Amino acid sequence: MNIQKFLAKFREAFGERVPLPVVFGYSDTAATEVRKIPRCMIGAIRRVCDGQPLTLSAGNVVCGGGGLYTAFAPCPDRVPAFVSETEHYKQTPQQVKAYIDRLDIRPAEKPYLNFVRMDHAANLDCAEGILFFATPDVLSGLCSWAFYDNDDDDAVCTRFGSGCCSIVTLAAGENARGGRRCFIGMLDPSARPLVPADELTFTIPACRLREMADTMEQSALFQKAYSIVRKRINGEIQNNRQ
């Protein structure tokens, strides 16, 4: 897939105000200096939209859940109780443990997890997924595009998980299986303050993007209904709410 041609179509579909997508994947080579990051990696991932690449490793992912969901470390013993009894995201620690077991996270085979804004990526050869930070209007377009050639009930799905799980773990697992699901994420209240208030994430596994790139121009993104939404995204028309 030609990245520059894809991004030209992306800009045509969504306009200039929408952040460019971020490519992420494991590698033997760091995309940038492995810098210390805050305990939660979500803010650092969001800043990749500004153009600065991010490299994660076992050394700079200090959050126990983050280490698990990036596949750099096993689940710490304290996580199930913390998620249930401190954060109250699940009723019991046993539910948390069962959920983590179902994810079937395999240890990372390479030492680095790189995040690079798509216009700075040389190719998608090592990509696990493509990440979009999306307002509701952008999410409408992304979902319409994903639904276009996929009749499965879970063509786009939202699953329980931390911000990093909804971005990395789900897409990497789907990519390994050659699956077709896309994922809406960033519903994690703990990570919400680290992204703009009006944004969620939409992640396309790399294997699925190769299919979707071929249908972009035929999908609703380039039809009349979404053209009106595009104009609102880019400030060409005002909000129609009465």
Sequence spans of domains, the chain: 3-233
**Can you give the pLDDT at residue 242?**
42
What pTM value is reported for the model? 0.94
**Can you give the pLDDT at residue 39?**
82
**Can you give the pLDDT at residue 184?**
98
**Can you give the pLDDT at residue 38?**
83
Q: Where are the alpha helices (DSSP H) in the chain?
A: 3-14, 42-46, 64-69, 79-81, 93-103, 136-148, 163-164, 170-177, 206-212, 224-233
Q: Which stretches in the chain have pLDDT values below 70? A: 239-242
Distance CA 213, CA 127 (A): 15
Pair of tokens at residue 176 = 């390994």
Look up tokens 């786009």; give the residue. Answer: 156
Q: At what angle do helices 3-14 and 136-148 cross, to 10 degrees?
A: 120
DSSP string, 3-71: HHHHHHHHHHHH-SSSPPPEEEEEESS-SS------SSSHHHHHGGGGT--EEE-TTT--SHHHHHHTT
**Can you give the pLDDT at residue 241?**
58
* Alpha carbon 37 to its chain's center: 19
**Can you give the pLDDT at residue 1?**
84
